[in-house]
Amino acid sequence: MTKCIGLSSVAVLGLAVFATQPAAAEHRAAFPDTIAAPNGFRPEGLAVGFGATIYTGSIGTGAIFAADLATGQGAILVPPQPGRAAIGLQFDPRTNLIYVAGGPTGAAYVYDARTGGNVATYQLTTQTATFINDQIILDDAVYFTDSQRAVLYRISLARNARPSPTAAITEIALGGDFTEVPGAFNANGIVTTPDGRGLIIISSALGTLFRVDPRTGDARTIDLGGVVLTAGDGLLRRGDDLFVVQNQLNQISVIDLDRRSLRGEVKQVISDARFDIPTAAESFFGAIYTVNARFNTPPTADTTYTIEKVRRRD
């Protein structure tokens, strides 16, 4: 589920922050390929923050785990939160905050990435059939997908980019080409288009990408020449390249988008023997990171979970 913020001040700031980490670039070889999350954690989302910090959230407890990509060492940042879940994550470098999609709770949560403190809670919907799955941060708002309802939720941000407890929450119906499959997981991962003017979402049920107008919810199918992105989950965009995590297929497809983000071509498929139902992707100094949700493994207190690093071919 995490991503690229697009051609906005947020993305520019994030790139500037990463560019000031020469030590990480010089010692890239020391970065481990595998980072262990706590046993029994049940991770799903992934987000990269300042420095070489990566975050993942717990489906079962709403906890957030933070790890150092350079050393592979980590610790719980946000302890288990009663009644909460953590699905998609995204970090906002302007405010040092982590936005979290709350899955079946119908809520979104905001935490301080430094202290782990609770900053805000937004009840996006009170519908029982809901699964808040992923989010994307723009200059003035945060958009969330709902895998059980054909809508997006928009939380307005203040001019200083900080969330307000009284922020306006808008429900935007998905229309146009978007088709909802009853009883299935529909809208899942979300990113911005390369021009920063639209959104891209993946329907897990259909394996289809859509370009969406963030104002109206009008969706247009992105033509992939007949390719179906089966089990599409988290999205990551870097420039014109869109990375689509296909969880049950244990692979990440790399799509080359055209200028209008209405056509695309699969130019690479990334797979690795270490993948075990990956659900989200992030990047750091050219490496791609994904998290193994292990949905096909019965979760126990001793079940192991990992974050994996792979490299794409040029």
Q: What is the mean pLDDT of the chain?
A: 92
* pTM exceeding 0.75: yes
CA distance 40 to 246: 23
At 30 the pLDDT is 85
| pLDDT at 203 > cutoff 90 | yes
At 278 the pLDDT is 98
At 227 the pLDDT is 98
Task: Please write down the HEC assignment for all residues of the chain.
Answer: CCCCCCCCHHHHHHHHHHHCCHHHHHCHHHCCCEEEECCCCCECCCEECCCCEEEEEECCCCCEEEEECCCCCEEEEECCCCCCCCCCEEEECCCCEEEEECECCCEEEEEECCCCCEEEEEECCCCCCCCEEEEEECCCEEEEEECCCCEEEEEECCCCCCCCCCCCEEEEECEECCCCCCCCCCEEEEEECCCCCCEEEEECCCCEEEEECCCCCEEEECECCCCCCCCEEEEEEECCEEEEEEHHHCEEEEEEECCCCCEEEEEEEEECCCCCCEEEEEEECCEEEEEECCCCCCCCCCCCEEEEEEECCC
Q: Any idea how long the chain is?
A: 314
Reported as a single tens digit per residue, the pLDDT across 212-226 is 999 999 999 999 999
Could you give the domains of the chain? 9-311 (2.120.10.30)
Task: Take residue 3 and report the two structure tokens written for it.
Answer: 């991503």
Reported as a single tens digit per residue, the pLDDT across 216-273 is 999 999 999 999 999 999 999 999 999 999 999 999 999 999 999 999 999 999 999 9
For 159-164, what is the mean pLDDT? 92
Question: Do residues 138 and 144 touch, judged by C-beta distance below 8 A?
Answer: no
Residue 196 or 313, more confident: 196
**pLDDT tier, 74 (very low <50, low <70, confident <90, very high otherwise):** very high
